[in-house]
Amino acid sequence: MPVNNPNVGVAFALVIGAGAATAAGAAVVFFPSLVKLASRRVLASALGISAGVMTYVSFVEIFQKSNGSFVDAGNSEEDAYIYATLCFFGGVIIMLVSSTVFLCMSAFHDIFYAHTKLSMLNI
């Protein structure tokens, strides 16, 4: 299916450039002499920034799809935006609660088994 959009070439060039930059960045860590040129702090910062950008782009895309799905379901644009926002922050709250619960369960697990190991050693 041919695409008749003048921006296709630019988009394809940007994708190729991003892939080449990713490949070059990944290859740098295999050469110790290149790693010494850039400090570990710079490499870690660059990795953190790129992860943040990728996460942001993913969230924006998912949010737009959610908004579009609410519109397709028959909601108005304003209601769809509100519902998509509520779903997003509802997911954030669910993740925070589940993370806290799992952390508490893990702490209890560590305390319980540390105590049983000590009692098994007669300490």
Count of domains observed in the chain: 2
Structure confidence at residue 110 (pLDDT): 66
Quote the domain boundaries for residue 12. Answer: 6-38
The average pLDDT across 82-94 equals: 95
Residue 117's pLDDT is 57
Give the residue, 74 or 42, on which the prediction is more confident. Answer: 74
What is the C-alpha to C-alpha distance for residues 62 and 81, in angstroms, rounded to an integer? 13
* 11 and 70, same domain (yes or no): no
Tell which residue, 68, 106, 115, has the closest CA to residue 87.
68
Mean pLDDT of 76-103: 94
The mean pLDDT of 53-71, rounded to a whole number, is 93
Instruction: Provide the pLDDT for residue 30.
Output: 84
Q: What are phi and psi of 71, to 5 degrees?
A: -65, -45
Q: Cα 99–59–87 angle (5° rounding)?
A: 65
97 plus 53 within the same structural domain: yes
Taking the complete model, does pTM exceed 0.85, yes or no? no
Same domain, 29 and 66: no
Residues 66 and 116 in one domain: yes
- Model pLDDT, residue 41: 82
Which pLDDT score, from 0 to 100, does residue 2 have?
67
Could you count the other beta carbons within 10 Å of the beta carbon of residue 85? Answer: 13
